[in-house]
Structure 1
Amino acid sequence: MLLLSNPFSADFMVRALVGGTLVAVVCGVVGTWVVVRGMAFLGEAIGHGMLPGVALATVLGAPVLLGGAVSAAVMSAAIGSMQRSGRLSYDTAIGLLFVGMLSLGVIIVSHSASFATDATALLFGEVLAMQDSDVLLLAAALVVTLVVAAAFHRSFVVTAFDPRIAHTLGVRPGAAQVALVGLVTVAVVASYQAVGTLLVVGLLLGPVVAANRWTRRIPMTMVLASALGTLSVLVGLLVSWYAATAAGASIACTAILLATSSALLRGLVDRWRDRDLRDDGHGDARAAVHDRPADRASAAVPQRGVS
């Protein structure tokens, strides 16, 4: 037990654990929708889209997080605007803005000789440098995430299942899409200090992919993904403490390893169950053994008049 408790005798490790846990819950909730809707590229693009704002904030002496948040919000709004125009597909709009914002950020950075350290922190995170104010900000981001996710849950589900019937059910797909992009933006901005923009997609996807193997309902996926994300933070911090590795990278790598381990374990469990069924003479019942959650959204679609 001392191996687990000794590192957290330091105040900065406690703040890192608390802040990282808040990030894990935010990413668990938002990442579930990112996986269901296939929006992983959006999360990565918004992460890199923060660079111009961070660069300008550094040059002007403004709060770095504020600059990154403004830049991410501008990119999110631009993606929505280009998509609504109908002239570009969603992934094309993201790709163009991804390159454009990243290039603009590099141009700004190239004019600031003192930006190297800040760029490293932006890309890979500084979870061990968290202050009490950062933890409070993450707590506020978590509250906003939970409120928006709860308020738009029905809209997200219906839109993910079939946008064509959304209007029939009294749902506005456009508003749901804006809210979801906003949640992804909040998650990326909130996570950047913990794991950096380069690794944030790992924390958004890894725990959700791991949880996805064992759950069938969206709320349960969020809960399990949040728990696995918290475990990733704990293990990553311990690895960083004892192996002297980068904390943010250790957290993101642990999340990916959890996803891989979950897939392997799920495969073993399925094989054992299939073998037991064959031994019992029920080989044709394989499909009924484990209803994979590939179309969780359709299973969770609320019926007319049900919230």
Structure 2
Amino acid sequence: MKNKLVSILLPTYNQQQYLKNSIESALNQDYENIEIIIADDASTDHTKEIVSSYIKNTPKIKYFRNEYNLGRVANYHKALYEHANGDYVLNLDGDDQLIDNTFISDAVKLLNDKPNTKLLVACKQFSLHDKIIKTYHKVDKLIAVISGLEFVNGISKKYEFSHLTTLYNRKDALKLNFYRENIISTDKESLLRLALTGDIILYNKIVGQWNYIGTNDSKNQSFYDSTTNLTWITNVYVILKTKTTYIKATLWKERMKLLYAPFIAKSIKNQKSLTLNQVYTLFKNKIVLALIVSIVKITFNKLFLRKNK
């Protein structure tokens, strides 16, 4: 059987500092049947020149440049729906890189051996101010197959996932309208919805690295961005409550709000005040209690640290 085609999506905007690492990490994969889709969202730096130096040496790279800046999520959507042809897809942002050259070949083999699985989730590390911080799944085995329901229920408690280390089925993604929400966690919203349609493979190996460069959207959220991002919790909850009991689904939703509330608290702190419309937004999203708990927890931790200095 012919090896299935894997599309490595590489959406980028003004990320020339890390772009070479991202491209070369994709090219260094030992899996031969890949296409590398570079989706340039009208960068104003030297992205085009950097990519041009690679295109002439390999047919694996396909370069698409938007006439104007679409924004991160729209660029994801366009790359997947208009440019990708693979059976499987991996999204590698311009500030990401793969650090395991066998990841794609290992992942495809595992997915082929388990045809009922919807996606494979491996582990990442991230570079923060030149310090490498490792992220693992809390599972004992190198490889584990679990239900998507179990995975979603245990997200951020027992299990984690990263966009850059998750290989997913393209046709299934298209059916679910991946990257439909223009929010920071559009990847989480899409991938967790997909997970709830079947089983997933956990691959307990660090295969990718995310580089924090100070301008990453997930770490720089405005009040609007942070509150709009709650959409991912609501959308997953709507599906989750059809798969489990109402009480379990509701407890999951509230736990997710508690985990996410610090991002909203930080955005409020950064702007130093709230408008009446913003207060209304907090009540409308039923995030006030989680926000209060988060602020109390942050304050207590600061006092505890001061006391123990």
Asked if TM exceeds 0.5, the reply is no
The TM-score normalised by the length of structure 1 is 0.25
The structure with higher relative contact order (CA 8 Å, sep 6+) is 1
Structure number with higher helix proportion: 1
The TM-score normalised by the length of structure 2 is 0.25
